[in-house]
Amino acid sequence: MTDQEEQSLKEAKRKEKRATEEIEQLARDQARRKANLAREQAIEEDQKERKTKRTGKRAVEEIGQSARDQARKKVNLAREQAIVEAQEARKLKAKKQPPQ
């Protein structure tokens, strides 16, 4: 084999090796992009799920707070009404008793 044939053979092997390495690199890049995309999608899905849970929890808390507020208002109203009734009863009692 002549030097030129050997060089051509070496050059062909180098080109083949380079092409193989490029294909392997492209495959690794594609796998990395696919993994990154899957990871990002998982993160987004998790965030959506957390947001849904927070929204539901907040709604339940708001309903509970509203119920507590209503109960507190009823208690306050009943207390005020009892005070008014007690005052009226004292006034009536004072009217019925002769002055001393």
Question: What's the rounded Cα separation, in Å, for the pair 73 and 13?
Answer: 89
For the stretch 20-33, pLDDT in tens is: 999 999 999 999 99
Whether the full predicted model's pTM is greater than 0.85, yes or no, is no
Q: How far is CA 2 from CA 9, 31, 56, in A?
A: 11, 43, 80
Cα 100 to chain centroid distance, Å, stands at 73
As a whole number of angstroms, the distance between CA 76 and CA 19 comes to: 84
Q: Determine what percent of the chain falls in helix, strand and coil, rounding each to the nearest 5.
A: 95, 0, 5
Q: Which pLDDT score, from 0 to 100, does residue 85 have?
A: 96
pLDDT tens figures, 53-72? 999 999 999 999 999 999 99
